[in-house]
Amino acid sequence: MEVTNMTPRSRIVAASTGLLAATALAIAALSANASIPPPAAGWTQVWGDDFDGQSGTLPSSSNWIFSLGHNYPGGPANWGTGEIQNYTNSTNNIKLDGSGNLVITALKDSAGNWTSSRIETQRTDFKPAPGGKLAIEGRLQLPNVTGDAALGYWPAFWTLGSPFRGNYQNWPGIGEFDIMENSNGLNTVLGTLHCDVTPGGVCNENNGIGSSRTCPGLACQIAFHTFRFEWDDAAKTFTWFVDGQRYHQVNRDRVGAQVWDQITSHAGHFILLNLAIGGALPNALNNNQPTPVEATESGHSLVVDYVAVYSAP
């Protein structure tokens, strides 16, 4: 999220088995996991939240803090993106559902004002050890709305460099990893690196260096998908995945050693989850016309099964 101005009996048995397997996969895609999955071989979980808790309660204050209103104190208006919603910590906008999910809901009131929520990790030190690797992963279902009713919806799972907290004027030099962005109900996931200076610079701000693809299998809006970002300090690469499929990578040579160091040499990054309404990306994908529109539906949600951080030597 840019911070400036995604037959014989044997055949019958085989067919039935395949159908059952496909059905099981579909059910798994549409439901929450009981817990954060164990790390792959060679990886260790260093932080995570599986959003277990009583229905109707807020996410853990040990893990998360709220971004409130229309901007950080002293930061650019409308979060620097032109989005129009007011972020709250009301359980109308954000809560645990009691089934292992965090639910962030965008709502429009009778006066046409929108509210939603945005949270950030308490920790700001997520980075690999020297020569090691770090992965940030989440399993999410995007707001289940498409067409004109989706115009303006902008869910995101992303990070910012730690020096941004409390400064709010040093973007994009401190780095931003958009692990998952989506807009206007399109079956598309976007992964982007923001860096250097704005406008222009080696990251072509305010666009960043990005790539996109459709969600594998079921659409982003009707199923959970796993979004993962890996930072490899030895290889000097940033890599984006959806459901284990790599679709974007940026290496140090692409941005140069000086910019790479600006992104990576500070204490680390913090993680954000939010559901914005309107702003730069939805408008751009709507033929540069403002969003939301009259047809945009209130009440759709970003659903998060878990967020986890893993490290590897």
HSE (CB half, 13 Å, CA atoms) of 53?
A: 17
**Within a domain: 1:** no
DSSP character at residue 214: P
HEC string of 15-82 equals HHHHHHHHHHHHHHHCCCCCCCCCCCCCCEEEEEECCCCCCCCCCCCCCEEEECECCCCCCCHHHHCC
**Average pLDDT over every residue of 306-310:** 98
What pLDDT shows up at residue 30? 61
Q: Could you list the residue range(s) of the whole structural domain that residue 260 is in?
A: 9-312
Which CATH number characterizes residue 39's domain? 2.60.120.200
Q: How confident is the model at residue 1 (pLDDT cuts 50, 70, 90)?
A: confident
pLDDT at 24 over 80: no
**Within a domain: 3:** no
Mean pLDDT of the chain: 92
Q: How many structural domains are present in the chain?
A: 1
For residues 14 and 221, the model is more confident at 221
**Within a domain: 166:** yes
pLDDT in tens, 193-231: 999 999 999 999 999 999 999 999 999 999 999 999 999
Between CA 157 and CA 165, with CA 161 as vertex, the angle to 5 degrees is 95
CB atoms within 10 A of CB 131: 10
**Within a domain: 182:** yes
**Average pLDDT over every residue of 246-250:** 98
**Within a domain: 2:** no
What pLDDT shows up at residue 34? 56
**Within a domain: 177:** yes
**Within a domain: 4:** no
**Within a domain: 258:** yes
Q: Give the whole-angstrom CA distance, residue 96 versus residue 104.
A: 9
Q: Give the whole-angstrom CA distance, residue 183 versus residue 239.
A: 21
pLDDT at 8 over 70: no
DSSP-assigned beta bridge partners for residue 251? 237
What pLDDT shows up at residue 35? 84
pLDDT in tens, 28-41: 466 666 589 999 99
Least confident of 21-35, 59-73, 292-306: 21-35
Q: Is pTM, for the whole model, over 0.85?
A: yes
